[in-house]
Amino acid sequence: MDKTYVAILSFAFLLLLHYLVGRSGGNSNVKKKDVQLPPSPAAIPFLGHLHLVEKPFHAALSRLAARHGPVFSLRLGSRNTVVVSSPACARECFTEHDVSFANRPLFPSQLLVSFNGTALAASSYGPYWRNLRRIATVQLLSAHRVSCMSGVISAEVRAMVLRMYRAAAAAPGSAARILLKRRLLELSLSVLMETIAKTKATRPEADADTDMSVEAQEFKKMSDEIIPQLGTANLWDYLPVLRWFDVFGVRNKVLDAVRRRDAFLRRLIDAERQRLDDGSESEKSSMIAVLLTLQRTEPEVYTDAMITALCGNLFGAGTETISITTEWAMSLLLNHPETLRKAQAEIDASVGSSRLVSADDMPRLSYLQCIVSETLRLYPAAPLLLPHESSTDCKVGGYNIPSGTMLLVNAYAIQRDPTVWEEPTKFKPERFEDGKAEGLFMIPFGMGRRKCPGETLALRTIGLVLGTLIQCFDWDTVDGVEVDMTESGGISMPKAVPLEAICKPRAAMYGVLQNL
């Protein structure tokens, strides 16, 4: 009992010491009377505004913006933060001050999972990052490369649709209850596994209740262990004193999962290197094959460490963007059956019922594209984008932003701004028809130098998956109950309640489905 009492007193003393040092230390340069800092809610000692971190965080920040304005500041433990929630101020950040905000904050937990900050999404702005960005946009995710991936995407979509068709055929009334969240996550992981690695992934047994390869299942298990340790939920990043004790064992949990992930990625790279050594190259080579080919001429640039970090980043960034956005789109369509019928009619008229919709059909399916755009407006997969950090002092919205401040841009709030969007919370794909939304501000994939380079791949995959689901099946809610649209939150914005729905093969598509 005495030892426990001493430990509690010691911990309390360290908290107090940390707070006093923080007050007297490195932030003195931002407390000058002549500096106009953004407004801020009332803070509490040591924690600052961490007590305001509620789930979903983007919604909590939207409520704070309604009280404190489109630019306000927070102190999240030891982190000074500014939150931007208006189109004008976001434009200012990513145009006039784009270089100033091109850095990422270095969180201890993210350093552990991002190859010590060398991954594309986490690395600091500079020559190394610019080279990574060039590789990603030119060599891996260009329009030509994405076009070459269409066959892989279509094959994975067919595999998912076939399994759903078989489930429906075996169900009473040929209508199956499908957990769409799981199917979509499996699909996005499988697409990325094929496009990034193409290692002739091992498929599970025919009667296994999954569409994922064994490799994709392994990667999902590791991701499920890593992701909960990231973001504002992890106080370890915001309160350095917790890292002295690591009372929650965060470091060991993350390191264990990261070690297994890195070994997994190295196996994929080694397998692809062996395939190349055997002379199995083609125009549709995997991303790893492209990088290994470049390694032969510039080994000092395309190191194994760089390839591992880049591929790990692509896996992590792509999986949830695709699956979460498609799940939100299907949820919206189930709650708006008239929109679903209109989308089906467009596909029937443009594609017909003798084949599945393809990537080449996408430019002609304008209403389907409107649905995707409206889904991204209402439910951006990364509602706060990824955090930025100022490398120089600058001004946003008339307020001084000191160097070293973390920037959170609330895309969720910006894309629901009532001064920009008519009926901003209403699902209206028609607002995007005939260029009516041209020029209205949306940033679901970010903006400026740090904009997501995988936007083209994500949009192509989402459009093809959504279009195929609409074309092949009639959909209904479970027991006629409206789909719950409650949001969860973190780095991404999944649904709080995973989507389940009733799917029934459309009579006009039976011939195609039976021959998949």
| Number of Cβ atoms within 10 Å of the Cβ of 510 | 15
| Number of Cβ atoms within 10 Å of the Cβ of 448 | 17
Residue 503 labeled ligand binder: no
The values of phi and psi at residue 27, to 5°, are -100, 5
Contacts of 399 (CB under 8 A, 6+ apart): 36, 37, 38, 71, 82
Structure tokens at 469: 């689901």
Strands (E), 1-78: 71-76
Cβ 158 vs Cβ 516: under 8 Å: yes
DSSP string, 439-496: T----TT--GGGS-TTHHHHHHHHHHHHHHHHHHEEEE-GGGPPPP--B--SSS--BS
Structure tokens at 276: 């190349």
Q: What is the dihedral angle through the alpha carbons of 57, 58, 61, 66, rounded to the nearest 10 degrees?
A: -140
Q: Compute CA 254 distance to the chain's CA centroid, rounded to the nearest angstrom.
A: 19
Burial of 381 (0-12, 13-18, 19+ CB in 10 A): buried
Find the angle CA(271)-CA(317)-CA(139) to the nearest 5 degrees: 60
Report the alpha-carbon distance of residue 203 to residue 211 in Å, rounded. Answer: 8
Q: Is 335 helix (H, G, I), strand (E, B) or coil?
A: helix
Burial of 91 (0-12, 13-18, 19+ CB in 10 A): middle
What letter would DSSP give residue 239? -
Q: Is the peptide bond before 39 cis (omega within 30 degrees of 0)?
A: no
The Cβ-side half-sphere exposure at 1, using a 13 Å CA radius, reads 0
Q: What is the dihedral angle through the alpha carbons of 56, 59, 61, 64, rounded to the nearest 10 degrees?
A: -130
Identify any residues that bridge with 103 across adjacent strands, giving them in sequence order: 389
Burial of 110 (0-12, 13-18, 19+ CB in 10 A): buried
The values of phi and psi at residue 372, to 5°, are -60, -45
| Residue 258, H or E segment | helix 250-277
Binding residues for heme, by number, are: 452
Binding residues, by number, are: 452
